[in-house]
């Protein structure tokens, strides 16, 4: 909580002004009852209407001042809360944007989303509320206590004696509350996860008529969340009654001791009556302060979750390149005895050892889970390798600035994302590219026909590309990868939804226009990679074969099996394929 207070720092001047106005407004409001008692006690008995009018008008003026002052203060409080939240959300999103893949896995995407939304929302609410309650309540509390001190210090001490106990209880309970609310937030993540899964998997659920099962599943997480919310709230509910009880007992003590003192002649009854009135003010102030504490303990849980992200170091991001010159004649891409391991699970990829010259094509083929996508993740430095090194132009990729490194790539991932935006923006993706370049890329990616059908570059793409078919999505993604004329083109299973004809045309376009780009193509079909200069056959995280199509057909049994099953008897070999192309 304290750590997030940094965000309030820039607003201290504005907040101080707001506080002053609010304090002024509160004090003016306190003046009103004073004028009232003056009118009743002193002016009315005089029997003159003149002074009553004057003071009456003064009261109205004070009311107006309080009105304007409070509104102005509220406005400032809201503005500070707005600007502060804007900054927190901005920083949080920036941090999330630069988190390493490893950390994103640790947090999990849904949890990051809820930190970015519901947690910052709680903070927004809190910052606004605290400013509003935070001035008025302490002024009333301190003011009330000061006035009682001037009346009778001994009685005040008796009344105030209960305050430390109240403070201790409030502190203890709200500290417990922080823990409990953190548990609540976790349960809430669990509840949201089930809802998200249902939104995403609706077709499967409907197909299997599992709605009842899902309802049951939701009931469990919902009940669990409700239970935890109830526990947390029950705990916090203890504070108010205990507090008012303790203070009321203090008042009883004041009366008893006051009785003795009246009997001794050390105090008067009028003072005890005044005590009663002031006591109400003090109690109300304390209640308000407690409300703040309840809110703060909720906010503390949220701010801890936000801070956890903000405090996560950005591991992979390098701002300054670490090399001074590029070695000449180095291969464009080189994997040198690379070993890679994910944090979770035991999956390891090892034995990656190969070089690619500029313009060459690397094909990667292998069973699912063999580690094909891992090669790409390591090359683009989403994760760092455990052993060995990956070099581009002879320099270890860890010595590049990440932005420079990634700028070399045009990539389509397996199951890549389309955004709810125009087709233009989905291809361009924020890069500085002209419409002509975009259209040319779309043409090469075989996407131009359907783009024109949809209404051109300005046509909308729905959420998750829902208005496009699987093949259209893939072609749009390929257009995105081609658009920047990348140095390295990575296509991870990016044509699985394309029919062979489109796929073939696409490959021909790439061959014609991207001769200088080094290509890495992950595929299931032998036909997609059979012309590659180098083909990597992977199984269970190991490279079990490397070479050209012809070599592998000779030496690698797995490759031969795949090749024969896909291409059919007697049609094996590049000659058959090239015949069609030519």
Partner 1 sequence: MKEKVKMKKGAILSRLLPYLLRYKLLFSICILLTVGGNLLALAGPYASGLAIDAMELGTGHVDFSSVGFYAVLMVVLYVASSILSYALARLMIVISRRVVNTMRRDVFNKLTELPVGYFDMNQTGDILSRISYDIDTINTSLSNDVVQVLSSVVTVVGALAMMLAISPVLVLVFVVTVPLSFVLTKKITGFTRPLFRKRSAKLGELNGFVEEMISGQKTLRAYSQEENTIKKLDRQNDETVDAYYKADYYGSLVGPSVNFVNNLSLSLVSFFGAILFLNNAISIGNISSFVLYSRKFSGPINEIANIVGELQSAFSAAERVFRLLDEAPEPADAAGAIDLKAVDGEVELSHINFGYTPDRQIIKDLSLHVPKGALIAIVGPTGAGKTTIINLLMRFYDVDSGEIRLDGHPVQTLTRKSLRLNYSMVLQDTWLFSGTVFENIAYGSETATRADVERVCKACGIHEYIMTLPEGYDTVLDDDGANISKGQKQLMTIARAMLLDASLLILDEATSNVDTRTEQRIQRAMRALMADKTCFVIAHRLSTIRNADMILVVRDGEIVERGTHETLMAQDTFYKQLYNAQFA
In the complex with partner 1, the residue whose CB is nearer, 109 or 142, is 109
284-343 residues in contact with partner 1 (CB under 8 A) are 342
In the complex with partner 1, the residue whose CB is nearer, 325 or 582, is 582
Stretch that binds partner 1, among 164-172, 319-327, 490-498, 546-554 (CB under 8 A): 490-498
Report, in Å, the least distance between residue 534 CB and partner 1. Answer: 19
**In the complex, least distance from residue 284 CB atom to partner 1, rounded to whole angstroms:** 10
Pairing of the two strands 488-492 and 421-422: unpaired
**Which one, 262 or 553, has the nearer CB to partner 1?**
262
Find the shortest distance in angstroms from Cβ 359 to partner 1: 21
Among 130, 145, 147, 205, binds partner 1 (CB under 8 A): 205
Within 51-70, the residues that bind partner 1 by CB under 8 A are 52-53, 56, 59-60, 62-64, 66-67, 70
Closest-CA residue to 504 (of 449, 578, 412)? 578
DSSP state of 7: G
- The whole-angstrom separation of Cα 520 and Cα 375 is 10
Binding-residue total with partner 1 (CB under 8 A) = 182
Which residues make Cβ contacts (< 8 Å) with residue 502, sequence separation at least 6?
A: 446, 471, 475, 495
Q: Which of residues 221-280 bind partner 1 (CB under 8 A)?
A: 222-223, 226, 229-230, 233-234, 237-238, 240-242, 244-245, 248-249, 251-252, 255-256, 258-260, 262-265, 269, 272-273, 276
Per-residue string for binding with partner 1, 338-367, x by CB under 8 A? ----x-xxx------------------xxx
Smallest gap from Cβ 352 to partner 1, in A, equals 17
Q: Which residue number, 69 or 457, has a Cβ lying nearer to partner 1?
A: 69
Q: How many residues does the chain have?
A: 582
CA–CA distances in Å: residue 424 to residues 50, 182, 443, 485:
77, 43, 13, 16
* Cβ atoms within 10 Å, residue 220: 13
Structure token pair of residue 527: 């036909």
Q: Report, in angstroms and rounded to the nearest whole number, the Rg of the chain calculated over CA atoms.
A: 36
Q: Is 3 in the site for partner 1 (CB under 8 A)?
A: no
Q: Does 553 bind partner 1 (CB under 8 A)?
A: no
Token representation of residue 365: 């083929």
468 binds partner 1 (CB under 8 A): yes
DSSP state string for 121-184 = HHHHHHHHHHHHHHHHHHHHHHHHHHHHHHH-HHHHHHHHTHHHHHHHHHHHHHHHHHHHHHHH
Which of these ranges, 4-12, 144-152, 156-164, 573-581, lies near partner 1 under the rule CB under 8 A? 573-581
- By CB under 8 A, tell whether 551 contacts partner 1: no
Per-residue x/- mask for partner 1, residues 213 to 232, rule CB under 8 A?
xxx--xx--xx--x--xx--
CA 295 to CA 239: how far, in whole Å? 13
- 302 contacts 310 by C-beta, under 8 angstroms: no
CA 38/CA 42 separation, integer angstroms: 5
Contact with partner 1 (CB under 8 A) among 6, 20, 49, 168: 49
Sole binder of partner 1 in the list 525, 544, 547, 551 (CB under 8 A): 525
Among 18, 177, 363, 484, binds partner 1 (CB under 8 A): 484
Query: Are 544 and 533 contacting, i.e. CB atoms less than 8 angstroms apart?
Result: no
- In this chain, which stretch among 299-307, 354-362, 383-391, 499-507 interacts with partner 1, using CB under 8 A? 499-507
Helices 500-513 and 470-483: crossing angle in degrees, nearest 10, is: 0
74 binds partner 1, rule: CB under 8 A: yes
CB of 4 to partner 1, least distance (A): 16
> What is the three-class DSSP state of 396?
strand
DSSP state of 523: -
How far, in Å, CA of 350 to CA of 539, rounded? 11
- SS3 of the chain: helix, strand, coil, percent, to 5: 70, 10, 20
In the bound complex, what is the minimum distance in angstroms from residue 513's beta carbon to partner 1? Answer: 17
Residues of this chain, 381-440, that bind partner 1 according to CB under 8 A? 382, 402-403, 406-407, 409, 411, 413-417, 419-420, 429-431
Among 117, 337, 353, 357, binds partner 1 (CB under 8 A): 117
Segment 28 to 47, residues that bind partner 1, using CB under 8 A: 29, 32, 36, 39-40, 43-45, 47
């Amino acid at each position: 909580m304290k750590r997030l207070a940094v965000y309030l720092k820039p607003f201290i001047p504005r907040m101080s002004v707001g506080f002053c106005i609010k304090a002024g407004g509160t004090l003016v409001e306190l003046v009103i009852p004073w004028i009232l008692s003056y009118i009743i006690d002193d002016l009315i008995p005089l029997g003159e209407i003149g002074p009553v009018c004057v003071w009456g008008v003064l009261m109205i003026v004070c009311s107006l001042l309080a009105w304007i002052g409070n509104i102005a203060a509220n406005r400032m409080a809201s503005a500070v809360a707005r600007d502060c939240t804007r900054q927190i959300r901005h920083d949080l999103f920036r941090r999330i944007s630069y988190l390493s893949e490893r950390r994103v896995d640790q947090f999990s995407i849904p949890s990051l989303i809820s930190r970015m939304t519901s947690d910052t929302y709680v903070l927004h609410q809190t910052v606004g509320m605290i400013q509003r309650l935070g001035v008025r309540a302490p002024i009333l509390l301190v003011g009330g206590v000061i006035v009682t001190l001037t009346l009778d210090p001994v009685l005040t001490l008796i009344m105030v004696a209960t305050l430390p106990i109240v403070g201790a209880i409030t502190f203890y309970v709200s500290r417990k509350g922080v823990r409990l609310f953190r548990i609540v937030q976790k349960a809430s993540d669990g509840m949201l996860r089930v809802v998200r899964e249902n939104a995403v998997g609706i077709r499967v659920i409907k197909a299997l008529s599992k709605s009842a099962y899902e309802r049951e599943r939701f009931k469990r997480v919902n009940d669990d969340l409700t239970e935890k919310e109830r526990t947390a709230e029950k705990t916090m509910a203890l504070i108010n009654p205990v507090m008012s009880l303790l203070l009321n007992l203090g008042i009883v003590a004041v009366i008893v001791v006051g009785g003795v003192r009246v009997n001794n002649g050390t105090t008067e009854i009028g003072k005890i009556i005044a005590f009663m009135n002031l006591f109400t003010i003090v109690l109300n102030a304390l209640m308000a302060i407690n409300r703040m504490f309840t809110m703060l303990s909720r906010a503390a849980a949220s701010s801890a979750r936000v801070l956890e992200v903000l405090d996560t170091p950005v591991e992979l991001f390098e701002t300054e390149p670490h090399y001074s010159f590029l070695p000449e004649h180095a291969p464009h891409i080189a994997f040198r005895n690379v070993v890679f391991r994910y944090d979770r699970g035991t999956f390891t990829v090892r034995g990656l050892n190969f070089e690619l010259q500029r313009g060459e094509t690397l094909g990667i083929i292998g069973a699912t889970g063999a580690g094909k996508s891992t090669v790409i993740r390591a090359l683009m430095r989403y994760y760092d390798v455990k052993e060995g090194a990956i070099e581009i132009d002879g320099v270890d990729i860890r010595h590049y600035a990440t932005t420079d490194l990634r700028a070399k790539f045009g990539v389509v991932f397996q199951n890549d994302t389309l955004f709810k935006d125009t087709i233009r923006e989905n291809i361009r993706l924020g890069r500085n590219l002209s419409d002509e370049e975009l259209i040319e890329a779309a043409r090469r990616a075989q996407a131009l026909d359907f783009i024109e059908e949809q209404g051109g570059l300005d046509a909308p793409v729905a959420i998750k590309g829902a208005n496009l078919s699987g093949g259209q999505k893939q072609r749009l993604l390929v257009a995105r990868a081609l658009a920047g004329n990348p140095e390295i083109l990575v296509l991870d299973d990016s044509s699985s939804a394309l029919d062979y004809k489109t796929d073939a045309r696409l490959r021909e376009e790439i061959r014609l226009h991207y001769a200088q780009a080094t290509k890495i193509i992950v595929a299931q079909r032998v036909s997609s990679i059979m012309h590659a200069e180098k083909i990597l056959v992977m199984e269970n995280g190991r490279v079990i074969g490397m070479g050209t199509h012809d070599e592998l057909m000779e030496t690698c049994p797995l490759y031969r099996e795949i090749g024969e099953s896909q291409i059919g008897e007697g049609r094996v070999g590049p000659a058959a394929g090239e015949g069609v192309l030519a």
